[in-house]
Structure 1
């Protein structure tokens, strides 16, 4: 099973830069996108009859937004965190037979850190949501988490320490999330691989010189680790300031369901 996640930084713009060519070539079972920057009706994607499309639009025009395109039919779908409105369109949860998928675009703390407190509070609610979901069925989390977790995850860690996306507070929240029962699929397979990033500034020559950050992830419940076959970062794929990240799972290695697992999501079928 192949899953792909890509912050497209404006889906309409990305479509004009080869999105559909990559979508067809990668042939994913589930394809998640973040930062669609769309309102309903602003784009018509011809993905083929085998894919069902789920969209979570931000109320603000040209801002945020997430979507999932899946060949697998979900049991249920949830938009946003449980019991909360999601005006920025940041979360989609799909429950499948053996696992739950969470597609997320984490709030940015902003360059001046003016939204750091909001971000940290959101992180706590998000972690609680993942723990709630994981208590019933294993979880795969993908998306732009807007944080480089360790120094190995960005080209210039020292001068960026304390900057948005590499504050001690944001990194601590990522550590807390992993410690609550999840693994970073890429680091699980490649704990010492450096120089592999998923985001680069649009400033001249930055991507050419690979001055990047790894802020796009596939996380997963620890008990899904036996099903993990590959985690890749497609640095060569253009079309956005981010590149796609990929996850390959072996359905034959799904963990045996626990007796207390059930279909708990509330949303649209």
Structure 2
């Protein structure tokens, strides 16, 4: 089974930059996107063979998640019950026979860390939610988690310590999530690979020089480790300030 996750930073703009070409070329079983930045009726995607599920933010041109899947899910859940995350369209959960898929666009703490308390509260609610899901079935969590976990996951880690996405608090919450029985699929398979990033600033030449952060993830329940086959980063794919990430699982 092939799964892809991509923060498209505005789906309509990404479509103009080749999203559908990449989508068709990859032929993924499940394709998750974050930061769709649109409301119902603002785009019509012809994705033959796929079921489409959307979680829109109430605020126009903001946030939002979607999942396109060949296999129809058993259930679909929007948010986890807290009104703010539901209003912002940040969480979309699909239940399949083998696992729960949770597609996430985590809140940004903002440059001045003004939203760090909101972010940390969201983290704790997510952890409780994932713990609840994991008690009944394996979980695959994917999306833009807006945190670089380790020094190796960011190009200039020393100068970014304490900045949004690289605070002690956010990194600690990520560690706590892994301690709940989750595995960072890419880092598990590539423990010492440097320069593997998924987001780059739009500032001049930053992406060309690979000055980036790895903030997009596929986390899997530890019990799914025997089924993990591959985890890749398609850094060459443009269309957004993020690039797609890929997970391959074998449930045979």
- Uncovered stretches (5+) of structure 1, i.e. residues with no partner: 253-269
C-alpha distance in 1, partners of 2:47/2:111?
A: 36
C-alpha distance in 2, partners of 1:72/1:91?
A: 19
Give the CA deviation at 1:180. 0.7
Structure 2 length as normaliser, TM-score? 0.99
Structure 1 length as normaliser, TM-score? 0.92
- Uncovered stretches (5+) of structure 2, i.e. residues with no partner: none
Q: What residue in structure 2 maps to residue 45 of structure 1? A: 45
Q: Equivalences for 1:61-100 in 2 at 5 Å?
A: 61-81=60-80, 83-85=81-83, 86-100=86-100
C-alpha distance in 2, partners of 1:195/1:72?
A: 34
C-alpha distance in 1, partners of 2:221/2:63?
A: 26
C-alpha distance in 2, partners of 1:47/1:73?
A: 14
C-alpha distance in 2, partners of 1:203/1:240?
A: 13
Runs of 4+ aligned residues of structure 1 deviating over 3 Å after TM superposition are none
Give the CA deviation at 1:211. 0.1
- What SS class does the counterpart of residue 94 from structure 1 fall into? strand
Q: What residue in structure 1 maps to residue 104 of structure 2? A: 104
Offset from partner CA, 1:11-54 (integer Å, 9 cap, x none): 00000000000000011000000000001000000111x10000
Give the CA deviation at 1:128. 0.7
Give the CA deviation at 1:84. 2.7
Offset from partner CA, 1:142-182 (integer Å, 9 cap, x none): 00000000000010000000000000000000000000110
Offset from partner CA, 1:128-148 (integer Å, 9 cap, x none): 101100000000000000000
C-alpha distance in 2, partners of 1:124/1:191?
A: 27
Q: What residue in structure 1 maps to residue 53 of structure 2? A: 54
Q: What residue in structure 2 maps to residue 21 of structure 1? A: 21
